[in-house]
Chain A
Amino acid sequence: MTDPNLEINPQDIFKNFYNYCQDCFTKITQARESYYRISNYTVHIKFANETIQKKLSSAQEHLIIPYDSELQTDLTVLVWEQASLGKPLPSEIRSWFFRLAKFPETYLAPRGEIKNGNGQQVLIAYNGGSGVISLYDINKKLALCLIRDVTKLPYYEIGSPLKVIWHWLVQHKGQLMLHAGAVGIENKGVLLVGKGGSGKSTTALSCVGSELKYLSDDYCVVTQEPNLTVHSLFSTVKLVGENDLKRFPYINNFLSNLANLKFEKAMAFVTQFSSESVLDQLPLRAIIIPQVTGLKTTTWEKASPAKALFSLAPSSILQLPYANENTFQRISKIASELPCFSLKVGTEIKQIPKSILEILEEL
């Protein structure tokens, strides 16, 4: 059904949310701030209180940098939560939310982005499952993240906090956020690509404690200038099912969502149990496509760039609002330029990093 009073003005929507957030922040004294560095980008995040800061920082502790008065930030993000902080939504926002709910087909594209936002100054995306709305004004270098109820945030939002806003920042800078794991040694990093359940997390976690360093299991940033480089974004690792937890028994002591394992993937932060294993960035040298086999032994072989593109692009683009043809072409370029390998992941965990090291020796 189409809204008969169709009106899409992203700038006005941003202004209403910004005024609300700004007004909220001026009336509190318990706000907390952190500065983060990824690649050359510095991001300043202001959280409404320490509880929200702690919840949304665990995955990115390794990226926090000390405050310096000479810091030049690429983006400032205000993070507010409504339920516990109790400030009611103003009528302009309630009215817009009402129209969004009444006529979602008019306003919302399938990835939650607000239509007519792509390529404009203001980007907006709403995730109903999380109760999170993200807004980004490119020219103002300002983003807002409004959470409905932080106690009801799904585990994946805590594991990949502000994922949409990070994606918009790097996309605006002409770089890529990818649905991929990443590991490596010295000057050789590899992407681990594939849809959920393909074995990225198992492969990435198996490298912790080995010669290989860990950068990510689910999302990472790839910059292309001056050289292809992969950057850690979240230190989160997520495992599915009892078998995974049996393969990595030490993880049980560090799970952040132990009480919810019936409904959620098991989640931990590598910085909390093996901070020396986590690396910020590596030159990107290859793409690996893991595939869990259920057999004992891990083997590998060369793969086609089309297979790498097929394993990387759909799951990256389909979950990142406003990712578009340019995103696809950048991903395609990476898949064409890098050697690609299939990794048939076996159940003997120690063989996995060994096989990746063999691949790295080929490069």
Chain B
Amino acid sequence: MKFRVNSPTVVSEVIEGEAVILNLDSGNYYSMEGSGAIIWELLSQGLSITEVSNWLAQTFKTNSEQMINTVTGLVEELNSEGLITLISQDEASPAIPNLESLAVDNIFVEPKLCKYSDLQDLLILDPIHDVTDSGWPKANFE
């Protein structure tokens, strides 16, 4: 299965091996380091779960099946958060970028998606449903 970043709702950047991801609709934001950032980078470039897993297994000299389980688990989490969407299997896979410099220790550490919801109060997640006598939409607290 192949995925892409769920843009324009989701924006992200990988800087010096750390992924920073923001969901504009939910107000949640996320960070991932190490293998998580690498997996995010590879998935967002359209590589399939199998291709990502094989690349990780080769780079970190680990078991392919273990990598498939790891990547699949992370993909499920990213999908449930609305951060990625499935794309057509017909799309050709891109060339794999050189990310070996990110695997500094050559030791694979399980990816972890850190989620933050403390900015949700900046968003209107419970919109208004009524108008005042003057014709203005009513604010929730009125």
Contact = CB atoms under 8 A, between A and B. Distances in A.
Contacts of B131: 94, 97-98, 101
B138 to A, nearest CB: 7
A94 B136 CA distance: 7
Query: By DSSP majority rule, is chain B's interface helix, strand, loop, or mixed?
Result: loop
Interface string B122-142: 111101111100111111110
A89 interface: yes
B81 to A, nearest CB: 14
A198 B61 CA distance: 42
Interface stretch (B18-26, B42-50, B62-70, B72-80): B18-26
A129 B139 CA distance: 6
Given A101-B131, A104-B129, A324-B8, A128 B124 contact: yes
Contacts of A318: 22, 24, 27, 119, 122-123
Interface stretch (B9-17, B52-60, B86-94, B99-107): B9-17
Contacts of A19: none
A120 interface: no
A57 interface: no
A313 B20 contact: yes
Contacts of A348: none
A336 B14 CA distance: 10
Interface string A132-169: 00000000000000001000000000000000000000
Interface residues of B, number: 37
Nearest to A335: B15
B8 A319 contact: no
**Looking at chain A's contact residues, is the secondary structure mostly helix, strand, loop, or mixed?**
helix
B85 interface: no
A332 B31 CA distance: 14
Given A97-B135, A104-B127, A318-B119, A110 B27 contact: yes
Interface string A77-97: 000001100001100011001
B3 interface: no
A96 to B, nearest CB: 10
Contacts of B124: 104, 108, 110-112, 128
Given A306-B16, A325-B8, A313 B129 contact: no
Contacts of A319: 122
B40 interface: no
A325 B7 contact: yes
Interface of A: 82-83, 88-89, 93-94, 97-98, 100-102, 104-105, 108-112, 126, 128-129, 131, 148, 195, 304-307, 309-310, 313-315, 317-319, 324-325, 328-329, 332, 335-336
25 contacts: A88-B134, A89-B136, A94-B131, A97-B135, A98-B131, A101-B128, A101-B131, A104-B129, A108-B127, A111-B122, A111-B123, A111-B124, A129-B141, A195-B119, A306-B16, A306-B18, A309-B20, A310-B20, A314-B22, A317-B11, A319-B122, A324-B11, A324-B24, A329-B11, A332-B13
